[in-house]
Chain A
Amino acid sequence: MDENLFKNPEYFISRELSWLEFNQRVMEEAKDKKNPLLERFKFLAIVTSNLDEFFMVRVGSLYDQVQAGIEKKDAAGLTPKQQLKRVITRAHQMMDEQYEIYNKNLMPQLNKAGIQLVSVQQLQKDEVLYLEEYFKQEIYPVLTPMAVDASRPFPLILNRSLNIALLIEREEGDTFATVQVPAVLARLVPLNHEGRYILLEDVIRMHLSEIFPKQKIKKTACYRITRNADMAIHEEDAPDLLKEMEKSIKRRKWGQAVRLEVENKADEKILQYLQQELDIPPRDIYEIHGPLDLSFVSKLSKIPGYAHLQYDNLIPQVPQDLLGESDIFEAIRKDDILMHHPYESFDQVVNFVEQAAKDPDVLAIKQTLYRVSGQSPIIKALAVAAESGKQVTVLVEVKARFDEENNIHWARRLEKAGCHVIYGLVGLKTHCKITLVVRREEEGIRRYVHLGTGNYNDVTARLYTDMGLFTCKEAYGADASALFNCLSGYGDVPNFYKLTMAPTGLRRKFLALIQREKELALRGKKAKIIAKMNSLLDPEITRALYDASCAGVEIDLIVRGICCLIPGIPGVSENIRVRSIVGWLLEHSRIYYFYNDGNEEIYLSSADWMPRNLDRRIELLFPVEEKRHMKRLKEALKLLLSDTRKARIMNPDGSYTKVTGRGSGVINSQETFYQMAQEAALNKENLKDKGVFQPIIRKNEL
């Protein structure tokens, strides 16, 4: 492809703006009346936590760039300054809309449902007394009020903490004080009448005179700041990465404030004071029409007795390939196993590691870990394995954003247990998900491999849709060994049989696969690409897709989050369609399909089409080669492409339009996948009951 082809900025959307559109889609789910009420609150909470992270990392980074005087334009032709301006405008708009949904759509419904979040004025007398006691017993001991005057400088305000600012009248002039709403206590304080709640900050406000006795409090206002948390570490100069990370985590807490949220109609003097002390320009101040930090609303779904306002609990099913199997190794020896989480249980993966840890014939276990849960059973199993004398190698990515602290903690624990722990590679995050078990068997050594699209995290595995493959085929085993040897520094980057690794070969591989479809199309053959991922923002891949589209390749993209590619531009991307599925579960699997003149190829991967995945991370792409598995993946893609409930089609202007289906034609892919998993498990169960010689009768014949 010509180097300068399709470089026109009009063919790209800025990544940050595209991300905001994604958050917009999440917010739409909060508006969607077809979703259960408490789930809608959850979506609203996600919008808040998403925005927090966005400000800390992305907006933080834009500020850094602007400050450093960087004027390099992104693919869409915008300088960091221009991006920042648009992002802030869009964020203001989004947060306004978020509170509108909260106030107008959701709160009245919540009232109707019997849950009341009351204000101080709405409290009944006994409730006031009740709160008096609650304040004394629970809240007061953990409060740290801080006054600011000539001898006491403005205190450091913790990132993302909720605070109350006070204006106190003194003879020598008004002074300022601040008190943090303690994060250790629940935001939602239940009152002594069932179904009635009040916010923690309101309880504190009722009792401010007890905290600041004999002071005249003129005004109060809630505020919250978000700090720049973009971490820059010079790994090359860091002799001990672990220590360096710990230092950096501490620094993150005190980065420059990039957003100040203040309750609306806050006192002008307080506002001015905060603005001056935090050194924050007016455009970064967000007036909030409601309670600050809406992440607390997700707690509403924890209130017992309201199950009818939520989705039914998802019960992960035994994977269809493992039905009737008790020994995971034996099952893998019979045939490869493909799993679709969370419809199919992730427990099998945990089980795999646990069984390996206990098995006397297992010699070695090797695993990459990026994000794990707090009480990870996998970590426990690995420690057990090491303690019982097995060779355990764990590659822990200490640079996994916002999980650094957690990861450092249990990496130390694994080391103590005798595991061989590797802390990632200089300059590269290890993002691939792979486990290797080396086992001594009758016929000699056999290697079992698990490859996945999602993290080894048993908690998120219940909410994220991911794919996983178990195999003991020699080529995959050899590749897995070679990969770990390379990651441990024992060997050079190997030549793989089946796997493709980033950053060494993945970009080239994807480009070659796209190029091949293009060439087939030019020869008049049918050519088709279907790709599902979380984000698409790599300019080179995007341009290759435009090129393929022009050659006549049919391209269907299922991109949940950011998409910098623009579909449907005449003469550029007429053959490309982009859809995003945002729903109940977080779409997380990465599936890449290529028609290849009838010799179809399907790959799963840990990588998105993002520069960071292709250039700055260790990622893996692996083919799924068994016919029945390929069939299953093709059907899954087909179902995702026919979703008429949670799918949005991306428009040439970068906006998204929800697909509408009517009546029985409505397809909710996530619900359908779940039903399919349930039915598969049920069928197997029935077959077992009926005994061996029972003929199989099709359901509609009964």
Chain B
Amino acid sequence: MEKLQGKIRKSMLVGVIDIGSGFMQLKIANQDENKQIHLLESVTKSLAIGRETFSEGRISPEMMRELSQHLLGFRQLLREYKVRRVRVVATGAIREASNCEYVLDQIRASTGFSVEVMNGPEERFLTQQAIQRAMPGYEKLKKEGLLAINIGSGGVKIVAYDAEGLRYSQNVPMGALRVRQILSRLELQSSTYTNLLEEYIDYHVQEVIEPLKEKYRHLVMTGEEVDSIYRICSNVTEQNVHVMSQNELKKLYEQLMFMNASQISSEFGISFDRAEMLMPTVMLMRAFERASNAKKIYCPSVGLSDGILYEMCRGKDDQETEDELLRYTRFLAKQYYYVEKHVEKVVESALLIFDHLGKKQNLTRRHRLLLEMSAVLHDIGKAVNLEKHGECGSALILNIDLMGISEEEQKQLAVLIRYHEAGEPSPEDKEYRELSRKGRMAVSKLLAVLQLANAMDCSHKQKLYGITAKLEGDCFVLRAQAKENAMLEEWIFQQLSSLFREVFSLEPHLKVRRKGMV
């Protein structure tokens, strides 16, 4: 028995609850000692929370009670397996509700669950992680050009890759349930309704599709309704991944044209609520299918909750995803006319300083990633307004879809970019104020580093090279060689050293040696 106990400790049970717009999902997985993840439970409970949020803007007390009721059921299942590590996440329907905070509080009060509210990019990132794990050849397909579409109840998430990496990442609020909810106010006959539905979808999807058109060879689709559609119209699999052909989808579309939700429900044995979402989903699928060059659609049948499970088992620090994120950050910066040489110099200096301080200062690998991203993106505001470029860059970053970073991290980035040239964040800043205490501390430290690194190339001439860093007593000394006079850099460095001194309790020094001078 003792032996068994020890072994069990090596394996790990994790649970995830995903409160989506159209349904809730519980997954329980077991990671064995060989790091293999086995899914033990996968429970889906339909609950159209989005129906209220998308039409009324808020969640009613009745819905809240029902939601808690189902969560208690899930809690019972988690108890059955004695799962201790649980994450509960919510997406669009909760996030967008005006009474979001109250709902979260009520859930905590009645179930004990603390719900994390996820933003679109986080969701997309985790879904991508899940697909990556489910499809063995995913990396190769990405390089060959791939469009990944997730059709949820609340929105469609679009991600595109080519040989260079991530090329596109957007969220379109056009989910199957949302569309239905918007149009449900119009009481129409079914034939007219189908036409209107299609027109409405096409109109909204058009602008998204335009830049994607005919560039991508592979098409991957996920989402609960996508999976139902796969089950209805195909049974082909390639390497354990479901595959649907263009034709199969078309045939289903033509069949559904003449059916109402209750007919669909009895014909395919699905609940009425789900049947209602089938047609909008098929239309959305077809819109994206037509935009791509793909002959077939991969349906790996995974979603957000799988991505979270994976993250819980493996941790967040994944070299590959970080690299991808950084590649995408540079791709973005380029679109805002960044000066590559300057940016890379700032990155170099910033990381040098970070690597000498990081561990001692409670800074993590994740912080290093943020620092590098902020260094790459620090000047994007110049594309808008040179004078207020910090402010503009900060506003841009808050509205850019950065798949793979959390909402808190996005706010941190905004703060870093706003003050990268000078100044200090204060509670007057909305983003700064909304950070956690830890998050505020970290951002101040990162900002101190970024400001100095930026100062070291403030002339944009890359004068300094051969930079080294060393901790000498209470002093943090940066030594560099210079091709020419670096008075400006030294002076600005000196001016910006106060934040560094305050947050690290170290005196920063920049010692520049002119080349050829003794």
Contacts and interface: CB of A to CB of B under 8 A. Distances in A.
Interface stretch (B79-87, B250-258, B345-353): B79-87
A504 B274 CA distance: 14
Contacts of A391: 76, 79-80
B76 A445 contact: no
A492 B80 contact: no
Interface of B: 1, 3-4, 7-8, 11, 13, 23, 26, 30, 32, 38-46, 70, 73-74, 76-77, 79-82, 231, 269, 271
A490 B76 contact: yes
Contacts of B42: 478, 482, 494
B269 A504 contact: yes
Contacts of B79: 391
A494 B46 CA distance: 11
Interface stretch (A2-10, A50-58, A186-194, A434-442): A434-442
A295 B80 CA distance: 47
A439 to B, nearest CB: 11
Given A363-B82, A364-B81, A443-B11, A488 B231 contact: no
Interface in A315-364: 360-361, 363-364
A491 B45 contact: yes
Contacts of A494: 42-44
A447 B28 CA distance: 14
A493 interface: yes
Given A443-B32, A444-B30, A481-B40, A492 B4 contact: no
A363 B76 CA distance: 12
A492 to B, nearest CB: 5
Contacts of A492: 23, 44-46, 271
Given A391-B80, A445-B30, A445-B81, A490 B43 contact: yes
Interface of A: 360-361, 363-364, 391, 420, 438, 440-445, 447, 474, 478, 481-482, 485, 488-495, 504-505, 508
Contacts of B81: 363-364, 438, 445
Contacts of B44: 491-492, 494
Contacts of A447: 40
9 contacts: A363-B81, A363-B82, A438-B81, A478-B39, A478-B40, A485-B41, A490-B45, A491-B44, A492-B23
A494 B26 CA distance: 13
A360 B46 CA distance: 35
Contact of A442 (B4, B39, B40, B76): B4
Contacts of B4: 361, 441-442
A445 B80 contact: no
Nearest to A505: B269
Contacts of B11: 443-444
A371 B92 CA distance: 46
A642 to B, nearest CB: 38
Contact of B8 (A364, A440, A478, A481): A440
Contacts of B38: 444-445, 474
A657 B77 CA distance: 54
Nearest to A486: B43
A420 B79 CA distance: 13
A566 to B, nearest CB: 29
A491 B80 contact: no
Given A440-B8, A443-B32, A490-B45, A485 B271 contact: no
Nearest to A361: B4
Given A444-B11, A445-B40, 7 more contacts: A363-B82, A440-B8, A442-B3, A445-B30, A485-B41, A491-B44, A494-B44
A480 to B, nearest CB: 11
Given A490-B70, A490-B74, A485 B43 contact: yes
A438 B41 CA distance: 11
B32 A485 contact: no
Contacts of A482: 42-43
Given A363-B81, A445-B81, A481 B41 contact: yes
B13 A445 contact: yes
Contacts of A489: 73
A441 B46 CA distance: 33
